[in-house]
Structure 1
């Protein structure tokens, strides 16, 4: 069962992707755990990654170190959401 906290963080991740990348609400609402992100969304290039991570830090009150990010973190919507949930939980 998905916790309320997970649902809140997932909504925040959706909002960040929408706002930073300029995606439509409908497009972001259609994202599921296996929706590919980096390399699949033209809007999410290497420059946009920094904006997405910074905005996640601001909205979730977390700190993301460079060492926290690897090739899988932004591979899919599910991976990014799991990462954000873990960081928000203090991992």
Structure 2
């Protein structure tokens, strides 16, 4: 599972500081974290691609992907398995 590394990347990209480690699998992302705006989504996707060595296509992205920290971690796991 990619949960801990996804939390770390979220914290770095969004400058969340120690609050990033307080995130749980159920923590809501879009609409709940003000720092996660459209520009931050692009930066986050780039950071995830670089960290995991994956390519994320525009068609891969949906609101469900960014619903929670867990759904984002699951998305990364699925991309890595493909």
Length-normalised TM-score, structure 1: 0.85
Which runs of no fewer than 5 residues in structure 1 stay unpaired? Answer: 1-5
Counterparts in 2 of 1:57-68, with a 5 A limit? 57-68=49-60
Counterparts in 2 of 1:10-89, with a 5 A limit? 10-25=3-18, 27-89=19-81
Number of aligned positions between the proteins: 82
How far apart, CA to CA, are the structure 1 residues paired with 2:56 and 2:34?
A: 23
Task: Calculate the aligned-residue CA RMSD, in Å.
Answer: 0.9
Larger radius of gyration between Structure 1 and Structure 2: 1
